[in-house]
Amino acid sequence: MKNQISDASDFTHTRIPKLSQLDTLLRCHICKDFLKVPVLTPCGHTFCSLCIREYISVQAKCPLCLTELRESMLRSEFLVSEIVDSYKVIRDKLLDILRQSEEKTTDPDPDSSIIEVGSGPEDSLIENDNQNDDTCDDIQILQSNKPTSLKRTYTDIASSSLRTLPRSKYFKANIPVKRSSTASRIDSMLKKPVELVPCPICEKYFPVKELERTHLDECLTLQSLGNKPISLKQTSHKDEPVLNRSTVMSSKKSIPTGGLRTTKSREEGEVEEEISYVDKYINSTTDTEHQRLPKLDLPSMTITQVKQKLSNLGLSTAGTKQNMMARYNYYEILWNSNFCDSLNPVDVSELKRQLLSWETSRKVHNIANSSTSIGNLMVSRSANRHHDYKKLLDNFKTDKFNRKEWCLLFRKQFRRLIKDAKKGQISRLSKNEPIQESPKDEQLTDPDLSNDLFEKLDDQVHIP
Amino acid sequence: MASLPKRIIKETERLVTDPVPGITAEPHDDNLRYFKVTIEGPAGSPYENGLFNLELYLPDDYPMEAPKVRFLTKIYHPNIDRLGRICLDILKTNWSPALQIRTVLLSVQALLASPNPNDPLANDVAEDWIKNEQGAKAKAKEWTALYAKK
């Protein structure tokens, strides 16, 4: 888990600790993750579109400087978006290289000289190789302390795997130039599991998955347009680098330490589409096809009206009015963030999927929090009481919450809790703890201390 | 329990790997949104040499909503009442999702260093503080020695 969540402090122990500042600057202050569809506020602060929209719906002010802020004031920042995206792609490699060179200064390893990123058209290829090499170096460093027998098994597997590869010639010819033989063999071992299949149209080799998923379609479209397939155009005689790149990418999945690479899928996408972040920025425009969803005054609408609004958008009309209102509001945030701010808006169906997963996660929360466990119990006791309870619970987090009635309603439970607490205190007293009797009593009867009390209450309620 | 937001995992991790001096915060085993917190009394304040236990709870809407923080150790302070509730703007109206557990706890520590009797929560303590600051501080010190022994 630790490695899946990157943090700016990852850089503090590398050769350039100050990179952690850059890393921090590219993160959203709300979710603490890298900015996703960044938007700029009039006060000059940047957040993820989704994060800030969600917050504005609660509090109409900037989280950083607390000045007033409305959704209509937000402007997308395409430049920042591309900076973040391009940074995310190189981050892991950067980190690996910087960490590695740090290690090297303390413990020079003759076998693992770093390959400087070369110049020329094969730039990204070498980088990719580099990344794999990093993992290999780790293995090697570990191994260098151990007897060579282990190494031999590795190389054996590696060389046998070489034979199974249809295009192993490339690996053999290319890698030893840069790497020692052991490393290159492990390299190719890691590349083993991908099966390459020729494309029937452009006759180049691709991993089956990639061929089926994207390449065939691309090839066919291009052909029907009368163009040459795109990959041919790009690399008239460099078909091997294309092949190799995709191999490296897909083989990463099979590397045991794959969890380290948080931006894996992104890189994969990049390879397939060959995105240039610069071009993307220069050609950026917002989607004008979709209009923004308006804010609606849902509370004043009737249920039928709300239902109609939802079904017009193709959303579910299940649940209470409150549920439907929450659904619309979140969908509106998703929609506007997607179609007004994002450079590559996703499909409406994807938005609906996101809405659904948001709702599911909320449901789980609510159940965990209160309603079913205590609620059901109340139903079984008396319907009337349940009603009171529901009514009270509605205001639980607001100032309107009726403390007195709540206390009355749960008098029995509170009493029992106090009794239990006192018992516990007596046993603790024997261990020489200071007495806190009078405040303790109130603590337990005070419903303001909702959360921990709730948990205790929950436990209590389940016992009988 | 629903999956924990990335942000909470991250904050927890940083609190453990890179703790704030004088402050510890550990999540509960059963509920990762519930933290057991200790804060050392700031030097130069009547709470010096005391170690205060607090509880911190991250509500479901965190970070859109402020964490709930409460003193468990008895403390004599104009902005902290008998139940340990804290009067601190960033925990109420001035909460911002740009804040985090770390900054909240630092603010609580700062509140110990500079009590504000003009915006009281514990009225009797605040009155005492305004009328007789020396006496109040002595009492705070006494309570610290009594309840917040390290």
3-state helix/strand/coil string of B39-105 = EECCCCCCCCCCEEEEEEECCCCCCCCCCEEEECCCCCECCECCCCEECCHHHCCCCCCCCCHHHHH
| Residue A10: predicted pLDDT | 83
Q: At what angle do helices A168-178 and A123-144 cross, to 10 degrees?
A: 70
Nearest to B57 among A55, A436, A451 (CB): A451
Output the six-digit token pair for A65: 């400087």
Say if the Cβ atoms of B17 and A54 lie within 8 Å: no
Is pLDDT of B69 > 90? yes
Nearest to B63 among A30, A434, A448 (CB): A30
CA neighbours within 13 Å on the CB side: how many for A138?
Answer: 13
Cβ neighbors of B119 (< 8 A, separation 6 or more) are B79, B87
Give chain A positions within 8 Å (CB) of B74.
434, 436, 439
How many whole angstroms separate alpha carbon B115 and alpha carbon B133? 11
Complex confidence, ipTM: 0.77
- Nearest-Cα distance to chain B for A226, in Å, is 47
Do residues B136 and B47 lie in contact, with contact meaning Cβ atoms separated by under 8 Å? no
Do residues B54 and B70 lie in contact, with contact meaning Cβ atoms separated by under 8 Å? yes
Cβ neighbors of B102 (< 8 A, separation 6 or more) are B11, B14, B15, B20
- Nearest-Cα distance to chain B for A72, in Å, is 20
State which amino acid sits at residue A17.
P
Catalytic pick among B80, B87, B88, B101: B87
B67 reaches A (C-beta below 8 A): no
Closest CA to B31 of B6, B1, B7: B1
Q: pLDDT grade, residue B57 (50/70/90)?
A: very high
| Residue A295: predicted pLDDT | 81
Give chain B positions within 8 Å (CB) of A455.
31
| Residue A140: predicted pLDDT | 41
Q: In terms of pTM, does the model score above 0.90?
A: no
Residue B119 counted as domain residue: yes
Say if the Cβ atoms of B64 and A1 lie within 8 Å: no
Output the six-digit token pair for B57: 């709870």
How many whole angstroms separate alpha carbon A292 and alpha carbon A340? 7
CA B149 to the chain's CA centroid: 17
For this structure, is B87 an active site residue?
Answer: yes
How many whole angstroms separate alpha carbon A113 and alpha carbon A180? 9
| Residue A237: predicted pLDDT | 43
| Residue A343: predicted pLDDT | 79
Any idea how long chain A is? Answer: 464
How many whole angstroms separate alpha carbon B150 and alpha carbon A278? 58
Domain count along chain B: 1
Do residues B89 and B119 lie in contact, with contact meaning Cβ atoms separated by under 8 Å? no
Nearest to B13 among A2, A63, A452 (CB): A2
The answer, yes or no, to whether the previous bond of B120 is cis (omega within 30 of 0) is no
Give chain A positions within 8 Å (CB) of B70.
449
Nearest to A30 among B1, B98, B146 (CB): B98
The residue ranges of every structural domain in chain A are 2-93, 107-191, 196-282, 301-367, 372-462
Q: Which one of B3, B6, B64, B104 makes the best mutation probe of the A interface by having the most chain A beta carbons within 10 Å?
A: B64
Name the B residues in 30-49 with CB < 8 Å from any A CB.
31, 34
Q: What is the DSSP letter of A346?
A: P
* Pairwise pLDDT comparison (A283 vs B30), residue with the higher score: B30
Segments forming the whole domain that contains residue B80: 6-148
Name the CA dihedral angle for B104, B105, B111, B113, rounded to a multiple of 10 degrees.
-140
Residue B137 counted as domain residue: yes
Give chain A positions within 8 Å (CB) of B68.
451
- Nearest-Cα distance to chain B for A340, in Å, is 22
Do residues A263 and A91 lie in contact, with contact meaning Cβ atoms separated by under 8 Å? yes
Name the CA dihedral angle for A54, A58, A60, A62, rounded to a multiple of 10 degrees.
-60
Q: What is the DSSP letter of B1?
A: -
What is the secondary structure of A341-403 as a DSSP string?
A: I-SSPPPHHHHHHHHHHHHHHHHHHHHHHTHHHHHHHHHHH-HHHHHHHHHHHHTTTSTT--H
* pLDDT beneath 50, residues of chain A: 1-3, 107-192, 228-272, 370-383, 433, 435-450, 453, 456-458, 460-464
B60 reaches A (C-beta below 8 A): yes
Residue B120 counted as domain residue: yes
Burial A58-73 (b: 16+ CB within 10 A, else e): ebebbbbeeeebebee
Closest CA to B4 of A91, A52, A451, A4: A4
pLDDT digits over A128-141, tens only? Answer: 444 444 444 444 44
B55 reaches A (C-beta below 8 A): yes
Cβ count within 10 A of residue B66: 21
Output the six-digit token pair for A216: 């065939």
A66: left (phi over 0), alpha (psi -120 to 50) or beta: left
How many whole angstroms separate alpha carbon A44 and alpha carbon A52? 13
How many whole angstroms separate alpha carbon A227 and alpha carbon A243? 21
* Chain A residue with the nearest C-alpha to that of B73: A436
| Residue B67: predicted pLDDT | 95
| Residue A365: predicted pLDDT | 58
Q: Which one of B3, B7, B101, B142 makes the best mutation probe of the A interface by having the most chain A beta carbons within 10 Å?
A: B7
Say if the Cβ atoms of A361 and B3 lie within 8 Å: yes
Residue B1 counted as domain residue: no
Strand partners, B51: B40
Cβ neighbors of A74 (< 8 A, separation 6 or more) are A39, A40, A41, A49, A52, A53, A341
| Residue B148: predicted pLDDT | 87
Homologous superfamily of the A2-93 domain (CATH): Zinc/RING finger domain, C3HC4 (zinc finger) (3.30.40.10)
B57 reaches A (C-beta below 8 A): yes
Residue B109 counted as domain residue: yes
Strand partners, B111: none
Say if the Cβ atoms of B55 and A452 lie within 8 Å: yes
| Residue A141: predicted pLDDT | 41
**CATH label of the domain that carries residue B93:** 3.10.110.10
| Residue A432: predicted pLDDT | 55
- Nearest-Cα distance to chain A for B143, in Å, is 11
Q: At what angle do helices A148-164 and A181-191 cross, to 10 degrees?
A: 50
Segment holding A72, helix H or strand E: none
